[in-house]
């Protein structure tokens, strides 16, 4: 079956511009996660959705970053007034469901490589 997909695969933008990154999770997965991976680092948690609501957005670095998941499936990560430091690979993952003390495998998409010039 189809895995997690992310579009675009690459995005080059200029400093100060607005960008949107899209994630299509696996069908039926209620949990969705966004991560950011800088060169030479492991992924860094940004935000977690359970259904339509953001259950934890503590990883968003500042108010330029925002994410939505209006119908509980596709999610969009939005970055305003981009800065060169935002350049990274943005990863999306989904999982069937999750409890506070249980782990559910997260299935990752291929990522979107964002370059801010």
Q: Which residues make up the interface to other proteins (CB under 8 A)?
A: 3-4, 31, 33, 40-45, 48, 55-56, 91, 93, 95, 98-106, 108-111
Dihedral angle over CA of 5, 41, 115, 105, nearest 10? 10
Task: Quote the least distance from Cβ 114 to other proteins, whole Å.
Answer: 15
Measured between alpha carbons, how far is 65 from 90 in angstroms, rounded to an integer?
12
Minimum CB distance to other proteins smaller for 10 or for 80:
10
Residue 42 CB, shortest distance to other proteins, in Å, is 3
Contact of 19 with 11, CB cutoff 8 Å: yes
Min. distance of Cβ 15 from other proteins in angstroms?
Answer: 26
Nearest Cα to Cα of residue 73 among 94, 58, 55: 94
Judged by beta carbon, residue 45 or residue 66, the one nearer other proteins is 45
């Amino acid at each position: 079956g189809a895995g997690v997909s992310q579009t675009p695969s690459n995005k080059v933008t200029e400093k100060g511009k607005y960008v949107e990154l899209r994630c299509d999770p696996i069908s039926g997965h209620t949990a969705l996660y966004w991560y950011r991976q800088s060169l030479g680092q492991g992924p860094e948690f940004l935000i977690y959705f359970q259904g339509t609501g953001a259950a934890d957005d503590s990883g968003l670095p500042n108010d330029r970053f925002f994410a939505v998941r209006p119908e509980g499936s596709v999610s969009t990560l939005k970055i305003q007034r981009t800065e060169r430091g935002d350049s990274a690979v943005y990863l999306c993952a989904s999982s069937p469901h999750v409890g506070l003390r249980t782990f559910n495998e997260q299935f990752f998409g291929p990522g979107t490589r964002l370059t801010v010039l």
